[in-house]
């Protein structure tokens, strides 16, 4: 319990730093009042807008007001939709979670058996093919892969739709686009950890006791090899949440990434702040959960914590 409390305490300054960066980012590109008002706005209109939203107060006064409202769940109101920016984020969040979940599921289903086969048949054709596949997967930019899949699968072959929608068929292409890099990383991670575990003394002992090879691999080797892999999977899920902006834009997926891009183009900075702040906090919390899970799964971490 003390380990969890310590990790939670260390997350507090990170969250404060994130809130400061999120609030200050709109001041880096100029006067927020000028940026948010339309080009035809008069000087009087801009001054009235600045005063109404408190942009004429000192910077740290504005930040303190922003932080106080954020603690109450108020991250401002959208200038475009005239709704709570945080409510807009929550409205788009299920679509992003759906896409992220399908992407991670697809990556795990392919990467785990591929990484295991690559480790068990080291320096074989299977190993070479898996390694080549992993390198290609991590080398391809997701925006390029997205455009290629749209052109080949959706436009030329017409097997799947080109943009997002409510059905499962709409999520396949964007999920595959996101999953490729994650799948390659998990494959390489599973291979390296399996190779390391297979050389441990307890694996030799299990084989010397006469256990079947399948029991040695699944009950002993895979169970211990998955500990660092679980960490990578959890962190990659956080990266997917924040990194799906480009893919959601390519496929017009109605998620948080597309909302953020449209808010940037429309100068709807309260929505931009709410989206970035929410995704940043989510990533910090995912890291905290990973630490807790790792401490629960690995006895060595528990012993070190004590």
- Per-residue pLDDT reduced to its tens digit, 234-261: 878 877 877 678 888 888 888 888 888 8
* 162 vs 299, residue with greater confidence: 162
pLDDT for 213 beyond 60: yes
pLDDT for 301 beyond 70: no
Average pLDDT of the segment spanning 113-129: 87
Kindly state the percentage of the chain with pLDDT values over 90.
2
| 195 in Cβ contact with 221 (< 8 Å) | no
The reported pLDDT for the residue numbered 306 is: 54
The reported pLDDT for the residue numbered 299 is: 58
The reported pLDDT for the residue numbered 211 is: 78
**CA 259/CA 56 separation, integer angstroms:** 28
The reported pLDDT for the residue numbered 303 is: 52
User: 3-class DSSP state for residue 200?
Assistant: coil
The reported pLDDT for the residue numbered 3 is: 64
Q: Which of 186, 39, 26 is nearest to 111 (CA)?
A: 186
84 phi/psi in degrees, rounded to 5: -60, 130
- Quick one: pLDDT band at residue 300, thresholds 50, 70, 90? low
Helices 125-139 and 85-120: angle between axes, nearest 10 degrees:
160
Strand ranges (DSSP E) for the chain?
Answer: none
**CA 76/CA 59 separation, integer angstroms:** 17
Query: pLDDT for 100-115, tens place per residue?
Result: 889 999 999 999 889 8
CATH topology for the 86-265 domain: MetI-like fold (1.10.3720)
The reported pLDDT for the residue numbered 133 is: 84
| 241 in Cβ contact with 279 (< 8 Å) | yes
| 267 in Cβ contact with 35 (< 8 Å) | yes
The reported pLDDT for the residue numbered 204 is: 81
Give CA torsion, residues 162, 140, 260, 279, to 10 deg: 120
State the average pLDDT for the chain: 83
């Amino acid at each position: 319990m003390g380990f969890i409390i310590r990790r939670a305490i260390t997350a507090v300054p990170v969250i404060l730093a994130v809130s400061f960066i999120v609030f200050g980012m709109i001041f880096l590109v100029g006067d927020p009042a000028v940026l948010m008002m339309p080009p035809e706005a008069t000087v009087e209109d801009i001054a009235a807008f600045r005063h109404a939203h408190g942009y004429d107060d000192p910077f740290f006064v504005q930040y303190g007001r922003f932080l106080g409202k954020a603690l109450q769940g108020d991250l401002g109101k959208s200038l475009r939709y005239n709704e709570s920016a945080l409510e807009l984020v929550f409205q788009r969040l299920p679509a992003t979670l759906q896409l992220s979940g399908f992407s991670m599921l697809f990556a795990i289903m392919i990467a785990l058996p591929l990484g295991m086969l690559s480790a068990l048949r080291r320096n074989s054709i299977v190993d070479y093919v898996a390694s080549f596949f992993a390198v290609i997967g991590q080398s391809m930019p997701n925006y390029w892969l997205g455009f290629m899949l749209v052109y080949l699968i959706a436009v030329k072959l017409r097997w799947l739709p080109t943009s997002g929608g409510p059905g499962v068929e709409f999520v396949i292409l964007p999920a595959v686009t996101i999953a490729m890099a994650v799948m390659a990383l998990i494959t390489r991670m599973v291979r390296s950890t399996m190779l390391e575990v297979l050389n441990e003394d307890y694996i030799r002992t299990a084989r010397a006791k006469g256990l079947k090879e399948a029991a040695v691999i699944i009950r002993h080797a895979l169970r211990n090899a998955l500990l660092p892999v679980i960490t990578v999977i959890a962190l990659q899920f956080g990266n997917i949440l924040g990194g799906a902006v480009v893919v959601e834009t390519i496929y017009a997926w109605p998620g948080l990434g597309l909302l953020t891009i449209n808010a940037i183009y429309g100068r709807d900075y309260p929505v931009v702040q709410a989206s970035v702040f929410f995704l940043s906090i989510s990533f910090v919390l995912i890291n905290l959960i990973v630490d807790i899970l790792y401490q629960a799964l690995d006895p060595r971490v528990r012993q070190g914590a004590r």
